[in-house]
Amino acid sequence: MDPECSRLLPALCAVLADPRQPVADDTCLEKLLDWFTTVTEAGSSLLLLQENPCLVELLFRVLKSQDLSSRILSFSLRLAGIFAAQEDCFQYLQQGELLPMLFGEVGPLGGAAWTAPAVRSGWIQGLRTLAQHPSALRFLAACGAVDTIFSLQGDSSLFVASAAGQLLVHILDLAMRGPAEGRCSPQACDWPACAQKIVCHIEDSLCSIATPQVTQALNVLTTVFGHCHGLWTQGLWVRLSPLVARLLEKDPVPASHSLVDLLLSVARSSVPSSDRGLWETLAQTLSHLSPTQAGPLALGILKLQDCPQALRTQAFGVLLQPLACVLEAAAQAPGPPGLLGGAAGDPMTVDVLLCSKSACVGLLCCALTHLGLLQPLPQRPSPWPQAPLLGAAVTVLRLCSGSVAPTSDVGGRLCAILVGCGRVQRAALDFLGALSQGAGPQESVMQVFSVLLEYLMSPESSSMVLKKAFQATLRWLLSSPKTPGCCDLDPRTQLFLRELLPVLQKRLCSPCWEVRDSGLEFLTQMTRHWGGQAGFRQALLASEVPELTKQLLQDPESYVRASAVTATGQLSSWGLLAAPASPERPGAQQKSLLVELLHVLCADSEGFPRRAVMQVFTEWLRDGHADVAEDPERFVARVLQAASRDQDWEVRAQGLELALVFLGRLLGPRGSHCPCAVALPEAAPPGTLAQALPEAAPPGTLAQALQVLCRVQLFEFAFRALFDCDRPVAQKSCDLLLFLRAKAAPCGSPQEAGDSPNVASVEATLQRWQAGEQGQPLGYLEPGAVMAVLRSIDLEGLRDTLAESSDHVEKSPRSLLQDMLAAVGVLGENEADCY
């Protein structure tokens, strides 16, 4: 321990033990405990206590004091636990009878302080930390702690109750780890007394008629099988499984949620390898639980890596049940039985669906979500009933929109329940989107597109439903098969596009900004993937969508403006923003977009659109957008100038990203070492930035590249960012300059400018910037001066400093102790750091 901390400790202990001194706050105590944990992990606790007797004294004083706050009592219990975790220190504290006084019946356990949940929680946590060695087990047995923990399982505070359960698991594990390790005998006589006691308690609880007790037992067991990996767990299961199975005989099954958790936890543990009976229990449980309760279990079973096929089939059937019922109810004529993999509409599921709106919506949403989660998994059931599932999703959506007229009574009632239900609509659209990963029969796919179009068109679709509908549509569009031998879109998709674009057009005019926003996002994604497809280009250019998108750059809602920026950026990248420019004025239309986006960057009052502009510009520069390629230097200079003044740190950070891309194009990508070797014009793709480098600069020389960088004032931008008050910006700038220096170093400096007068003034300015005075500009920099400055700044050191969290100075234990003392006025003057 730091000597300074040792010096402060007695005073702090005195403060803590003094009921008249209010302690700053709980976080200080937590930090203190963290620190003691670190100290004891690094060295001997015994030594610590011997060197700092004030600590033991604190514990004694806490015990004696009558009116101490529950926080300090709780803290002391946890502190004692930390010390006693080491066996020698445990013995040391035992000699003083301190531990029984803290944790035994004479301690807070019997007193008034016990009513505070914090004290009960501290007691449990103290014991949890303490219970690390056989002596601790004996201690627990001797002081009767286990019985107290049993009672705390039903504590009114959920935190205490849950911690009590976990402590039981920990003790059981500890007890079984020693002598019983390696045995899996279910015979209780072999087990340590402590473990026996706990297991008997669990057995009693499982047989109890009170559901809360059953739940406690099941939760403890769930933790056991989830966290303990000893062979003994197999024995435990053999012993307890009959009791668990007996729960299934009750109607209704008590604590079904916890039971499901336990069974899945056991199934994931090493038990199944030894006990095949588990699968039977799971199968029984699936058939006993109500459809709503069985859903999560079925999903869990299907996610298991290794499980009998019959059980998987049964579990899949459970998940499919609700959808099978819907399909059956909505069928115009009785279809073939077992439409969904043998799962016919089960009367029990139908009852749940029809009993109330909430039950129906809950069950359907769960079924749809579970199946959606299962779809992408490699272990999903095979064969996967893609076509009936598509049919079911479409039917659910149609029931929700009221566009299907079921003839059956059940169908009619379902329709009445589901019509207009946004929750089911969203779940079904998500599910439909997930199904796009698999193909389907032509007819089903047609239905999918038609129901999606219906939703996109319907004025009844809420903005959230529309968003989901757009997402699902995108997934289906992107997964639609390519026509063999032709790289363009297939005719069906083109037909759909022709219907979709007018809808999108209308949605872009919606008075609801969320709708405009999701419309733009959809357009961006679609263009990103299909910008090069002739069919798409043709349909899009024939519509008014590009024009509308551009108008939305003036939207009153900043999110929409941001999305419009991204969308127009994407459209422009593919030359889709306007009708092809006339031969006399190539790119005239495009240029105006650049100006418009620059205007957004300089003038928009909100951060989102400006960030979006920076992203678009970075992308344009990276991809060699024609408009940028015309004069990249001017482009970069203007963008950096605007970004450097921006209030939003993300815009400045994105500015550095753009600068990095620019550097990459000039000097070769990061990682390749000698920029001199990069033959710029040859390396770059035709028609992109590299070609546009100033002609005066002969290719291959760093000097010219540096000249360019100086001209676009990239260094001024980067140096300013280096001292940015937002750490991510400074870090990024540091990385950029390090990259630049690494690139330049092997080539030597074009001109040794160490003693150039310019360097001194630059360094002086930088120092002022570092001090927070960023008013003065650097002015035009010579490449030589830049390199000299770069070499003179300790970039590595700066990077390391920036890598530390911002409170690294203040986080030291000494600072913590000083703060706590200062808060109660023990230190003469307030030397504490403010943070």
Return residues touching other proteins (CB under 8 A): 402, 405-407, 411-413, 415-417, 419-420, 458-461, 505-507, 509-513, 515, 544, 548, 551, 554-557
Q: Are 267 and 301 in contact (CB under 8 A)?
A: yes
Q: How far apart are CA 468 and CA 393, in angstroms?
A: 14
**CA quadruple 45, 48, 49, 55: dihedral sign:** negative
Q: What is the DSSP string of 708-774?
A: HHHHTTHHHHHHHHHT-SSHHHHHHHHHHHHHHHHHHGGG--SS--TT-HHHHHHHHHHHHHHTT--
Three-class DSSP category at 340: strand
Number of C-beta neighbours around residue 160 at 10 A: 22
Residue type, 81: G
Which of 212, 165, 172 has the alpha carbon at shortest distance from 195?
172
Handedness of CA 346, 351, 354, 357 (dihedral sign): negative
Q: How many CB atoms lie within 10 A of CB 763?
A: 15
Instruction: Classify residue 513 by its DSSP letter.
Output: H
Closest separation in Å from C-beta 555 to other proteins: 6
Q: Report cis status (omega within 30 of 0) of the bond before 252.
A: yes
Grouping H, G, I as helix, E, B as strand and the rest as coil, residue 126 is: helix
As measured in angstroms, the least distance from the Cβ of 578 to other proteins is 15
Output the six-digit token pair for 592.
């105006």
Q: How far is CA 51 from CA 9, 170, 250, 267, 527, in A?
A: 11, 31, 60, 50, 70
Least distance in Å: CB of 539 to other proteins? 17
Distance CA 15, CA 652 (A): 47
Strand partners, 340: 343
Q: Which is nearer to other proteins, 274 or 505 (CB)?
A: 505
Tokens, residue 702: 């760093």
Indicate the residue among 41 and 499 with the shorter CB distance to other proteins. 499
**CB-wise, 557 or 810, nearer to other proteins?**
557
Q: Please, which residue, 458 or 480, has the CB nearer to other proteins?
A: 458
CB 406 → other proteins: shortest distance, Å? 6
- Please calculate the CA angle 479-484-489 and round it to the nearest 5 degrees: 50
Using the minimum distance from each CB to other proteins, give the nearer residue, 208 or 463. Answer: 463
User: Is 302 or 504 the residue whose CB approaches other proteins more closely?
Assistant: 504
- Residue (366 or 404) nearer to other proteins, CB: 404
C-beta of 79: minimal distance to other proteins in Å? 58
Which of 316/455 has CB closer to other proteins? 455
Which residues partner with 152 through β-bridges?
none
Reported residue count of the chain is 835
Rg (CA), the chain: 35
Among residues 247 and 397, whose Cβ is nearest to other proteins? 397
DSSP 582: P
Closer residue to other proteins in complex, CB, 506/768: 506
Residue 3 has, within 13 A of its CA and on its CB side, a CA count of 0
Residue 335 CB, shortest distance to other proteins, in Å, is 18
706 φ/ψ angles, rounded to the nearest 5 degrees: -65, -40
Give the SS3 label for residue 338: coil
In whole angstroms, the minimum distance from the beta carbon of 758 to other proteins comes to: 51
Q: Rounded to the nearest whole angstrom, what is the least distance from the CB of residue 505 to other proteins in the complex?
A: 6
Whichever of 7 and 357 has its CB closer to other proteins, that residue is 357
Least CB distance to other proteins at residue 333 (A): 15
Give the shortest CB-404-to-other proteins separation in angstroms.
8
* CB closer to other proteins out of 513 and 574: 513
Q: Is the CB of 11 or the CB of 410 nearer to other proteins?
A: 410
Minimum distance of other proteins from residue 552's CB (angstroms) = 9
**469/464 Cα distance (integer angstroms):** 9
Class of residue 442 by CB neighbours under 10 A (exposed 0-12, middle 13-18, buried 19+): exposed
Nearer to other proteins, 510 or 691 (CB): 510
Please give the Cα distance from 490 to 483 (Å, whole number): 5
Other Cβ atoms less than 10 A from the Cβ of 405: the count is 11
What is the distance, to the nearest Å, from the Cα of residue 805 to the centroid of all Cα atoms in its chain? Answer: 21
Residue number, 420 or 685, with CB nearest to other proteins: 420
In eight-state DSSP terms, residue 295 is H
Least Å from the CB of residue 517 to other proteins: 12
Amino acid identity of residue 352, one-letter, is: V
Distance of CA 64 to the CA centre of its chain: 47
